Structure 1
Amino acid sequence: MNKINVSVRHWCATVLRFVSVASLFFLAGMAFQSNRSSAHSVEAASTHLYELMVYHALPGKASDLESVFKGVSGLQDKHGLRAVGYWIPKSEDPAWQNTFVYLLDHSDRESAEKNWQALHADPLFTPFRQAAIPLIRQKDGEYLVDEVYMSPTSYSASK
């Protein structure tokens, strides 16, 4: 029995030495690394400003709304509203049913607003607006259109 206690004590001492040496190397590595790096914040990587638009169409009218945007897309481009893409979501989630989505790329908020004003002032835009109005859902007299401006992060592929 005494022989077993000696073997167990020897094993425990060996494990303790190993853990102590491993911990020492770990702490030394951490101290070395902390001197080499510093924390940095995530910032926008460019001056690009994206605008996401989500239109909530009346039931069954998303493809009709898509047709309106297919026609107006050239006019948007003429006025500096650069479309990244247009989409009809394919989802079983009721929140995405009857929606039409598109994404614009602006250089900054000021030029975005100027370009939107120019589009809305163009007489060629009026027929497209009139065609879209009866296709978009309303709530309390407001059209259901979600809009958000977004800046890419420093690690985004779209900088």
Structure 2
Amino acid sequence: MNPKGRLFELRTYTANDGKLDELLSRFENHTIRLFESHGMKIEGFWLPVENAEQKLVYLLSYPSAEAREDSWEKFQNDPEWIAARDASNINGDILANKESVYLKATDFSPLK
């Protein structure tokens, strides 16, 4: 992965059965602030209209692919994140699956 310029990352998290509210709470109370503190720009969060699969979809952006790698490395090693993640998983993992798709904006995209 080495696109030039701004990089977008579309992430889809599938919560384990009955754990979506816990996942949303973790984002609201911990993850969002930590993402921002590590240079990740949050473009938005969405729940599918038909959310039978317990999914959270969100879009992040970074100045470059290198900035993305640096931000994620710092985030994943942040002691506050590790504590929040471990505390939210104390009664079992809240995540069943996570997927990422890397995107670059077209010349006519309003998000450049």
TM-score scaled by length of structure 1: 0.61
Letter paired with 1:78: S
Provide the residue aligned with 1:150 in structure 2: 103
Provide the residue aligned with 2:93 in structure 1: 134
Provide the identity percentage: 29
Provide the residue aligned with 1:101 in structure 2: 57
Contact 1:62-1:88 at 8 Å conserved across structures: no
Deviation at 1:66, TM superposition (A): 0.8
Letter paired with 2:98: V
Provide the residue aligned with 2:66 in structure 1: 110
| RMSD, aligned CA | 1.9
- Counterpart-to-counterpart distance in 2, 1:60 and 1:76: 25
TM-score scaled by length of structure 2: 0.84
- Counterpart-to-counterpart distance in 1, 2:25 and 2:44: 14
SS at 1:60 equivalent: coil
Deviation at 1:50, TM superposition (A): 0.5
Match of 1:77 among 25, 31, 36: 36
Total equivalences in the alignment: 106
- Counterpart-to-counterpart distance in 2, 1:89 and 1:63: 14
Higher RCO (CA-CA < 8 Å; seq separation 6+):
2
- Counterpart-to-counterpart distance in 2, 1:70 and 1:52: 18
Deviation at 1:49, TM superposition (A): 0.8
Deviation at 1:63, TM superposition (A): 2.1
Structure 2: 5+ residue runs without aligned partners? none
- Counterpart-to-counterpart distance in 1, 2:27 and 2:84: 8
Deviation at 1:153, TM superposition (A): 0.6
Contact 1:88-1:101 at 8 Å conserved across structures: yes
Structure showing the higher strand proportion among its residues:
2
Deviation at 1:121, TM superposition (A): 1.5
- Counterpart-to-counterpart distance in 2, 1:77 and 1:69: 12
2:77 corresponds to 1:121: yes
Give the structure with higher Rg (CA): 1
